[in-house]
Amino acid sequence: MASTIKHKLLCCLVMLAALLKFSTANAQVPFYKDASQSIDSRVKDLLSKLTIDEKISLLGYRSQAVPRLGIPAYNWWNEALHGVARAGEATIFPQAIGMSATFNEDLLKQVSTAISTEARAKYNLAIAQDRHLQYMGLTFWAPNINIFRDPRWGRGQETYGEDPFLTGRMGSAFVKGLQGDDPKYLKTSATAKHFAVHSGPEATRDKFDAKVDEKDLRETYLYAFHELVKNHVESVMSAYNRVNGVPNSINKMLLTDILRKEWGFSGHVVTDCGALDDVYLTHKTLPTAVEVAAAAIKAGVDLDCSSILQNDGIKAIKQGLLTEKDIDQALGAILRTEFKLGFYDDPAANPYHGYGADSVHNEQHLALARKVAQQSMVLLKNNNNVLPFKKSSYSSIMVVGPNAASLDAMIANYHGTSSKVINFVEGITGAVDKATRVEYDLGCDYKDTTHFGGTWAAGNADATVAVIGLSPVLEGEAGDAFLSESGGDKKT
């Protein structure tokens, strides 16, 4: 009898220990960190655990850490226009307008696949050292699918050209390579920008009102965005300008009625950087930052590339302009992106966790960059079949021009850095034998058409290669193209 009681008691103790172990294990893994659950239910659970102040702190691109829930700080601002940008060693592919000139969407998808591989590798390496840096994240604000309608626009180089159909095809291919094809996880997050009717001018972009009729809006300016939404782009960026009087970042018709309700977009909307400040400082359509914060959330903005939502969101709630439900809707959209990227899961379960240093700027990616460059080039004239040069026919070559040895012209804007960029002077010198004479002269600068150097030397050479054109300091984004006479654009 005593042994039976002891046996039952032992069984109970074993069961109790098992239950305690199971309960402890479950207590250690919050529901929102359970990768077997649906993303929507995990987002709902995490939202229920956050205070209103914590929620507000997550609505800016410099997302704040929430240590009690194990949420690290994260910077949403990362660039990948034609390679991982501003993040150290990375493969630099041809500028977007050049890649579009290949008319090869499969090749462009290979490019963005290589870019996202390098991005994941750099992110993995940074996180391993507990570095949470801007430009080393996984949420990329590319591609730029604005329509290059006016050749004076300095940022036209970032686009896929003047044709909405081509832009939609090339932009969709780029998105597919960036985001990957895993059924559960995003490789990186892509962003279609700048929504909408944003094709210059640069100097007045913060106050410009784009007047457009419904036909032009739909057929020219919205077509490519719709194509990218149909191909599941994760994010859309609102533009600085107004459209028919309404600033894009508080434009409910664009951000909610068309983007979400009509097109079924399910990702998150981010503002261009400082665009909310423009609403009350330059557009002056609303008087205060607090009202702007409320209007942006109500219109459909989820993430702010400035500090207005983080600084003034709580004030908007206290003034009755926003509710916590409004905040949850916005934050829920950006949390879904984080879950898709695997931020709250065991890194080892992510198919992209294994990328490391050997995935960055490797021989395969360099070969791909060369292939894209070759397909992007257009030979306009080849009188008497001068090209390609036959080495045996030329004993002396003169290389001239402002872009012959220009690093800026080689890497374009929104660029990465490389430990080995070969300019035209270096490339041509390295391609000929040691018995061939190669000379170089800058020849002229970008603006002086009166004074020329190297003319005498060119007359003494068998062939002269002149490398001319513009550079990103003459045309590009406002502020970056600091030598531009027209705020980033060409004047004429």
- Give the model's confidence band at 449: pLDDT under 50 very low, under 70 low, under 90 confident, else very high: confident
Mean pLDDT throughout 132-152?
97
3-state secondary structure of 36: coil
Least confident of 171-185, 392-406, 441-455: 441-455
Count of Cβ atoms closer than 10 Å to residue 367 Cβ? 10
At residue 368, the 3 state secondary structure works out as helix
Res. 52 pLDDT band, cuts 50 70 90: very high
Look up the pTM and report it.
Answer: 0.93
272 in catalytic set: yes
Determine the average pLDDT of the residues in 207-234.
98
- Check pLDDT > 60 for residue 12: no
Give the pLDDT band of residue 440 (cuts 50, 70, 90): very high
Tell whether the model's pLDDT for residue 6 goes beyond 80: no
3-state secondary structure of 71: strand
Residue 447: predicted pLDDT: 84
Per-residue model confidence (pLDDT) at position 174? 98
Opening angle at CA 410, ends 204 and 418, nearest 5: 110
Query: What is the DSSP secondary structure assignment for residue 1, as one 8-state letter?
Result: -
Judged against a pLDDT cut of 90, whether residue 317 lies above it is answered with: yes
Can you tell me the mean pLDDT for 33-40? 96
pLDDT band of 266, cuts 50, 70, 90 = very high
The distance of Cα 181 from the centroid of its chain, to the nearest Å, equals: 18
pLDDT digits (tens, 9 = 90+) for 344-384: 999 999 999 999 999 999 999 999 999 999 999 999 999 99
Amino acid at 252: K
CA dist list (Å): 449 to 83, 439, 444: 34, 22, 7
Q: What is the pLDDT of residues 387-397, one digit of tens each?
A: 999 999 999 99
Quick one: which of 77, 71, 34, 75 has its CA closest to 54? Answer: 71
The predicted pLDDT at position 24 comes to 47
Q: Taking 70 as the threshold, does the pLDDT of residue 227 lie above it?
A: yes
* Mean pLDDT calculated for residue range 300-309: 98
Q: What is the DSSP letter of 31?
A: G
13 has pLDDT over 90: no
**Which residues make Cβ contacts (< 8 Å) with residue 390, sequence separation at least 6?**
none
**Above pLDDT 70, what percent of the chain?**
95
Kindly name the residue from 34, 53, 163, 272 that is annotated as catalytic.
Answer: 272
